[in-house]
Structure 1
Amino acid sequence: MNTSTKFRDFKTIQKIGFILIVLGAVIILLKIIGLLSASHFIEEDIPNYLFLTGAFLFLLPMLKKLLMGRKGSKKASILLLALSIGISSTAQNYSKQIAAFEQSFTEKSVSPIQAYLSPTLKFDPIPVANTPAILKNIVSNLPKLNSMTILESAEGKAKIKYDFVGLGVRESYVHFDEEGKFTRIELIENLIKMELEAQKKMRESVQTPTPGPLGEKFQPKNIEFKTSDGLLVNGNLYEVGEDKPVILLCHQAGYNRVEYADIAPKLNEMGYNCLAIDQRSGGNFADKPNVSAESAKEKGLPNEMIDARADIKAAIDFLHKRYKQKVIVWGSSYSSSLALLEGVSNDKVKAIIAFSPGDYFGDAAPSLSTAFSKADKPFLVTSSKEEASALTTLMGTIKSNENQSQFIPESSGFHGSKALWTGQKGAEEYWNAVTAFLNKI
């Protein structure tokens, strides 16, 4: 082969390399800016391989010219082969391991992931001997997993995005040994640390509301009303006057109307009528049943968290009809997200107070970022200090003002409306924020 033919061959190789570089770069860019979703079935590492292979081919003529001398062709070939292997190895593919991990959550079993577990896998600060039991408990008891996506991968680790119903979207790393087996799963470590911290806070905190003298002064009466799908919702109505403003109080997951047993009387003292309801998604709390949840189960009605939006809407309708005025909707944890989703579009809602809202519903509801972007009503959102940054992210570019604001506590605070309970550490600063907001609207 003469020199001109070799030159043309190298030019062709460079052109192929350039095309692969552009193709890989475009796919990577589209994925970064979110225009290419998982539904396009692009294998996670294909763009990386295209880009790296293209770069290698594009540089091949220059590398060969640089490395080859009169007697160096054999050495150059070996070096080029080693370089190509090195480049290929930089793009790690852990898709099989992650697919097995996702399958474990789907099947609620450790069997799919078993072959990919390293004997050194442990979840700090729990000893390695407890790893099997911890892993089994996690995959069996976490809420439904909507999706698990590889965001990036490198040698020995991959960054994963998880979307769980009720837990929202989370991102963290998983780590692998040389055989591609899991040696560390940060998601589970973080969940364990959160649970240990929650247990510590629970031991140090007020665990149930104590109505005290105000509870004796302002006694509620039981009321019932029906939802659009026929559920009879139960609630406690704390009434101080038909001409007084009215607040709907919605509880967090696993709770019932008793969450507001010492909050509602304080609001009565401030001049507000209050209705604390049992939602169909909840449970026994403070030795009291959740009547609406039990009724929903008996009737075979849907009772996931997202389904409680119908209860909140029916309560708004009930209060609007009774008092002939718009309603302030107050939510706790998942119900605060429902309060925002319903409140921004419901013309019977005057304002929204949301304690620890988040994207708890997966694909069953739009992100709260959408609700915040459309909100033209007064709202106050707050949470524990730990949750504050995630909430700020959800609020996005919205500019806080006196009628639309986020309150971040100075203390570590608590999740949900229990942050306001009598005797709760930091309760006073939350009450100051709520009182200031109510006085402005």
Structure 2
Amino acid sequence: MKYLILIFFLCFGLNVLAKETIKIKAADGVEVTVELYMVHPDTVPMIILYHQAGWSRGEYQEIAPILNQWGFNCMAVDQRSGNMVNNVQNKTFVSARQLMKETKYVDALPDMQAAINHAKMYLAKGQMIIWGSSYSAALVLKIAGDRSSDIDGVVAFSPGEYFQSMGKSSDYITSSAQNIQCPSFITSSRSEKNSWWGIHEAIPTETKFYYLPETSGNHGSRALWSKFSDNEGYWNAVGVFLEQYL
């Protein structure tokens, strides 16, 4: 796996692999913009990628092409709680504001659910893996517990119980994580372990895994970006986890 990762970084022209931007509708009418990286038949595993706070689907412009090369189709989602990163504007945030909808972290759940539903209906006949970053890492763990019958894997970069200020309980994520049945993977910077360890402990399966870097590491999925010198450890760890789907 390490060898493959190094080859992909050397060939980083791969980040312009075929992609398509489409819009889907959340249950409350918000237009959810998603980027499709569909380079394989619809029978291969699909990874749905959700960004961190204040950002957009642009968080995954380096990451999704590598996942494509590993054998996965991908969908990168703009959630309404976000804005811009890597010069990619979050268009779901714009739609939500135009419709005068709230854009707090917890308000992104309908967008995340809409992406899963659309993928299952039109794009993916194979296994479904959901992947989150920061607040969305927490929400994918919640979704994996709440939809335990139709989620096949969950990857969470820097999750935590981030929702008390939005009126949710202190165990909003943990209580759903207790129902997770699929394989799970959690990682973060070293200093963030206490933010998610209780969630990890609550997951009842023997197919739960975590990774902490030997360095200080980084918050969210950006830990995989090539600009960070310790990204290889994260790539190797998530790669080992994802190999079970191929």
TM-score for the superposition, normalised by structure 1: 0.50
Q: Is the Cα contact below 8 Å between 2:23 and 2:32 reproduced in 1? A: yes
Query: Is 1:356 aligned to residue 158 of structure 2?
Result: yes
Query: Is 1:288 aligned to residue 54 of structure 2?
Result: no
Cα shift readout 1:26-70 (whole Å, capped 9, x = no counterpart): xxxxxxxxxxxxxxxxxxxxxxxxxxxxxxxxxxxxxxxxxxxxx
Aligned residue for 1:420?
224
Q: Is the Cα contact below 8 Å between 1:226 and 1:232 reproduced in 2? A: yes
Following superposition, the deviation at residue 300 of structure 1 comes to 0.9
Query: Is 1:230 aligned to residue 230 of structure 2?
Result: no
Whole-angstrom distance in 2 between the partners of 1:313 and 1:234: 13
Q: Is the Cα contact below 8 Å between 1:247 and 1:273 reproduced in 2? A: yes
Whole-angstrom distance in 2 between the partners of 1:397 and 1:364: 18
Query: Is 1:436 aligned to residue 235 of structure 2?
Result: no
**Greater helix share, 1 or 2?**
1
Name the amino acid aligned to 1:328: I
Residue 399 and residue 245 in structure 1: after superposition, are their counterparts in 2 closer, same or farther (change >3 A)?
closer
Relative contact order, higher structure (CA 8 A, sep 6+): 2
Aligned residue for 1:367?
172
Cα shift readout 1:236-266 (whole Å, capped 9, x = no counterpart): 1001122221000000000000000000000
Whole-angstrom distance in 2 between the partners of 1:400 and 1:345: 15
Q: Is the Cα contact below 8 Å between 1:305 and 1:334 reproduced in 2? A: yes
1:294-305 alignment, distance < 5 Å: 294-305=94-105
Whole-angstrom distance in 1 between the partners of 2:202 and 2:120: 32
Aligned residue for 2:79?
279
Following superposition, the deviation at residue 400 of structure 1 comes to 7.4
Q: Is the Cα contact below 8 Å between 1:320 and 1:348 reproduced in 2? A: no
Q: Is the Cα contact below 8 Å between 2:177 and 2:202 reproduced in 1? A: no
Whole-angstrom distance in 1 between the partners of 2:139 and 2:174: 13
Residue 400 and residue 411 in structure 1: after superposition, are their counterparts in 2 closer, same or farther (change >3 A)?
farther
Whole-angstrom distance in 1 between the partners of 2:80 and 2:134: 15
2:50 to 250, 254, 257: 250
Aligned residue for 2:136?
335
RMSD value over aligned CA atoms?
Answer: 1.7
Residue 234 and residue 243 in structure 1: after superposition, are their counterparts in 2 closer, same or farther (change >3 A)?
same
Following superposition, the deviation at residue 398 of structure 1 comes to 5.1
1:127-276 alignment, distance < 5 Å: 212-216=12-16, 218-241=17-40, 242-276=42-76
Query: Is 1:319 aligned to residue 128 of structure 2?
Result: no
Name the amino acid aligned to 1:227: A
Whole-angstrom distance in 2 between the partners of 1:273 and 1:428: 22
Q: Is the Cα contact below 8 Å between 1:248 and 1:276 reproduced in 2? A: yes
Whole-angstrom distance in 1 between the partners of 2:106 and 2:202: 26
1:388 to 193, 213, 220: 193
Following superposition, the deviation at residue 348 of structure 1 comes to 2.5
Cα shift readout 1:66-120 (whole Å, capped 9, x = no counterpart): xxxxxxxxxxxxxxxxxxxxxxxxxxxxxxxxxxxxxxxxxxxxxxxxxxxxxxx
Whole-angstrom distance in 1 between the partners of 2:30 and 2:203: 37
Q: Secondary structure at the match of 2:226?
A: coil
Q: Secondary structure at the match of 1:301?
A: coil
Whole-angstrom distance in 2 between the partners of 1:398 and 1:272: 25
Whole-angstrom distance in 2 between the partners of 1:292 and 1:398: 31
Q: Secondary structure at the match of 1:234?
A: strand
Aligned residue for 2:6?
none
Percent identity of paired positions between Structure 1 and Structure 2: 36
Whole-angstrom distance in 1 between the partners of 2:52 and 2:39: 25
Q: Secondary structure at the match of 1:392?
A: helix
Aligned residue for 1:150?
none
Following superposition, the deviation at residue 232 of structure 1 comes to 0.9
Runs of 4+ in 1 over 6 A off after TM superposition: none
Following superposition, the deviation at residue 368 of structure 1 comes to 2.5
Following superposition, the deviation at residue 425 of structure 1 comes to 2.1
Whole-angstrom distance in 1 between the partners of 2:195 and 2:96: 32
Whole-angstrom distance in 2 between the partners of 1:399 and 1:304: 29
Q: Secondary structure at the match of 2:152?
A: strand
Aligned residue for 1:411?
215
Q: Is the Cα contact below 8 Å between 2:36 and 2:76 reproduced in 1? A: yes
- Structure 1 unaligned regions, length at least 5: 1-210
